[in-house]
Amino acid sequence: MNCIIIDDEAMARAIVRQLCSKIPGLDVIEEFDNAISAIKFLNQQDIDVIFLDIHMPGFSGVDFVQTLKDPPKVVMTTSDTDFAIAAYEYECIVDYLVKPITLERFEKSIAKIHSASTQKPQAKVAANADSAVGEDLYINIDRRLIKLKLDEILVIEAKGDYIDVKTEKEEHRVHTTLKKIKEKLPEKLFLQIHRSYIINFTKIIDIEDNSVLIAKNVVPISRSNRPELMRRLNLL
């Protein structure tokens, strides 16, 4: 089981790392002094557990949890004993630890994580992807979160270790993969039509041969993806 630690205090991170080292099979793969950097990391890496401080300047632990589309298990660390009730408003938060954290209490938290992991997950509602329509997508650029309206996104293009997100008004370059952002997009609006392109197919103006026109963007269609595009279109 791998984990990351997010806390703006170096000593607090060191304590949690030391506690983790005493748990067999629990590996700390990274630690962060701010939540924004952790979001960037999670766009590239899948992890099992986050040990997350609540009170951090600029972007709190609660703010961080709210930005996660499909969060792993989260254990909040805090000096605020009043946070317990609020913590359980979020399904991904399995426990909270009040500082200073003892090994005995930490071991109980790990037991809760294992228990939550072995529980049979509830079936996702089939219309879950459709329910995301009209929601926002937050992208991390230069340690700043920018909110985009999903229905304003036109084309997403892979460019090496980055993607270009093109909207009706502007374009943003984000350090992540096409696979990662695809997981966060509703299928009702978006479709991958090429290994390097995802489109909002409701914005298609024209289809000709092996390309589609979206606004001023000519986007290629791969042979393997063309049948799914044709299936999704409302053809006469």
Specify the CATH class of 2-118 in words: alpha beta
Minimum mean pLDDT among 21-30, 46-55, 62-71, 206-215: which range?
62-71
Asked if 61 and 9 touch (Cβ cutoff 8 Å), the reply is no
> pLDDT at residue 123 above 80?
no
Other Cβ atoms less than 10 A from the Cβ of 11: the count is 7
Give pTM, 2 decimals.
0.55
219 pLDDT exceeds 80?
Answer: yes
User: pLDDT tens digits for 151-204?
Assistant: 899 999 999 889 999 998 899 999 889 998 998 898 889 999 999 999 998 999
Residue 131 has a pLDDT of 40
Q: C-alpha 214: how far from its chain's center?
A: 27
Q: Which residues of 152-190 are buried (b: 16+ CB within 10 A; e: fewer)?
A: ebbbbbbeeeebebbbeeeebebebbbebbeebbbebbb
Which pair of structure tokens corresponds to residue 95? 């426990």
Task: In whole angstroms, give the CA distance from residue 5 to residue 14.
Answer: 9
Q: Which residue bears the tokens 């370059």?
A: 173
Cβ count near 234 (within 10 Å): 4
Distances (CA, A) of 88 to 83, 104, 109, 187: 9, 22, 14, 30
Work out the burial of residue 41: count CB atoms within 10 Å of its CB; fewer than 13 is exposed, 13-18 middle, 19 or more buried. middle
pLDDT at 9: 94
Give the C-alpha separation, 19 to 196, whole Å.
Answer: 42
Measure the CA–CA gap between 20 and 28, rounded to whole angstroms.
7
Distance of alpha carbon 158 from alpha carbon 209, whole angstroms: 22
Please state the domain extents for the chain.
2-118, 128-232
pLDDT over 80 at 89, yes or no? no
Residue range 103-109: average pLDDT? 95
Q: How many CB atoms lie within 10 A of CB 201?
A: 18
* Residues 152 and 168: beta-carbon distance below 8 Å: yes
What letter represents residue 45's amino acid?
Q
**Residue 233: band (very low, low, confident or very high) from pLDDT cuts 50, 70, 90:** confident
**For residue 134, what is the DSSP state?**
T
Structural fold of domain 128-232: OB fold (Dihydrolipoamide Acetyltransferase, E2P) (2.40.50)
Q: How far is CA 3 from CA 19, 80, 122, in A?
A: 12, 23, 23
Higher pLDDT, 21 or 148: 21
Res. 130: pLDDT tops 70: no
Q: Which two tokens stand for residue 114?
A: 């294992």
Instruction: Say which DSSP state 70 is in.
Output: S
CA distance 27 to 223: 42
